Amino acid sequence: MRMNRKLLFVAAVAGLAALIAVGLALAATAASTQTSTTNYSDWEGAKTKWVPILDVTNNGIRIGAAQVAGPASQVDKCKAVAQLELQFKNLARIKAYVPIESYNVLRLDRVQGVSVWATGDLRIVKY
Amino acid sequence: MKPRITKILSLTIASLLFLGVAITAGRALDLGDVLKVGGIAYLVDRYDKPIDNFINKALGERHAQAKGATKVVPILSVGSGGYVGAAQVVGVPAGVQKTKAVLQVEIEAGSFRATGLLPIGKKAASKSSTRIKGVGVSAVIDFKI
């Protein structure tokens, strides 16, 4: 009986310690915000539209669609979204989306104030 | 087996499992171990600023950097409710500062599949989550697991 109580106590302490450790490991992320410039258009009454995603690595091949959003005048300028693949320290693969004014991915003319709200593609084969 | 002993055994096994997870989480920067703990939250916390800087620098070299505030936040899946990756958000500074996560919503209409990316002000998916105005996604980050 005494042995069982001891076991129960050890198990409870171990569980509690583990929970605290996990909690600490996954502590809340500190907010970090960078501001390159402040002249970024506000989006009240944002306009949206779907445009093709062009792969920069593969000379502008169309690889899907993106819904872009932003101030109406800027969204109207946007013709496509260039997708740039980046590699961060063998730790993460990054797909950067750049809303652009033309279909030319060799020169990325970014449309400022516009960003991506959704991506989409067509399923060609259903398994 | 007596119910009391069964209970003790179950508690012990559960505690050992928790302990294993905790010990693994404690070994910082051992990527394989950290990721086994479901460490996307940890990775975002650890690498948010370096990744943000890296993306801005890479785009800056191509004269394609976004003007406005940027930040790296975790992506929450509506289905699983867990973190599935990270995203760099861009937009008006006040909105970007409010953004805590990006909610990923899968929509299917016939053969068209869409993935909605909604910047939200909470770190957990809920019905009351609303999109933060003036903020959108500029990059999606997949951690190698």
Q: Which residues of A touch B35 (CB under 8 A)?
A: none
pLDDT of residue A32: 45
pLDDT of residue A97: 96
Task: Give yes or no: residues B85 and B131 share one domain.
Answer: yes
pLDDT of residue A83: 94
pLDDT of residue A37: 43
Q: Is residue B40 part of a domain?
A: no
pLDDT of residue B97: 93
A123, B71, B89, B142 from B43: Cα distances, Å: 32, 14, 17, 11
Chain A: give the shortest CA distance to residue B33, in Å.
13
What are the structural domain ranges in chain A?
A: 47-120
* Over residues B89-101, mean pLDDT: 93
A4, A112, B102, B128 from B131: Cα distances, Å: 53, 20, 9, 10
Q: Which residues of B touch A98 (CB under 8 A)?
A: 59, 64, 138
Q: Is residue B21 part of a domain?
A: yes
Strand partners, B83: B76
Interface test with B, best of A87, A94, A104, A106 (most B CBs within 10 A): A94
A72, A96, A100, A126, B133 from B61: Cα distances, Å: 28, 13, 16, 40, 29
Q: Is residue B120 part of a domain?
A: yes
- The answer to whether the predicted template modeling score (pTM) of the entire model surpasses 0.90 is no
Q: What is the mean pLDDT of chain B?
A: 81
pLDDT band at residue A31 using 50, 70 and 90 as cut-offs: very low
C-alpha–C-alpha distance, residues B14 and B29, integer Å: 26
| ipTM value greater than 0.85 | no
Q: Which residues of B touch A82 (CB under 8 A)?
A: 64
- Please tell me which residue, A50 or A36, carries the higher pLDDT value: A50
For chain A, percent of residues with pLDDT exceeding 70: 67
Interface test with A, best of B2, B24, B70, B122 (most A CBs within 10 A): B70
Q: What is the mean pLDDT of chain A?
A: 77
* Over residues A103-107, mean pLDDT: 88
Pairing status of strand A80-88 against strand A47-55: parallel
Chain A: give the shortest CA distance to residue B80, in Å.
18
Q: What is the pLDDT of residues B36-54, one digit of tens each?
A: 446 788 888 889 999 999 9
Q: What are B10's two structure tokens?
A: 């179950």
Q: Which helix (H) or strand (E) holds B29?
A: none
Q: Which domain holds residue B109?
A: 67-141
Contact B11 A12 (CB under 8 A): yes
Q: Which residues of B touch A97 (CB under 8 A)?
A: 137-140
Asked if A49 reaches chain B (Cβ–Cβ under 8 Å), the answer is: no
Q: Per the structure, how many domains does chain B have?
A: 2
Query: Is the confidence at residue A99, as pLDDT, over 50?
Result: yes
pLDDT of residue B131: 86
Task: Give yes or no: residues B17 and B83 share one domain.
Answer: no
Scanning A31-127, the segments in alpha helix (DSSP H) are: 72-77
C-alpha–C-alpha distance, residues B58 and B48, integer Å: 15
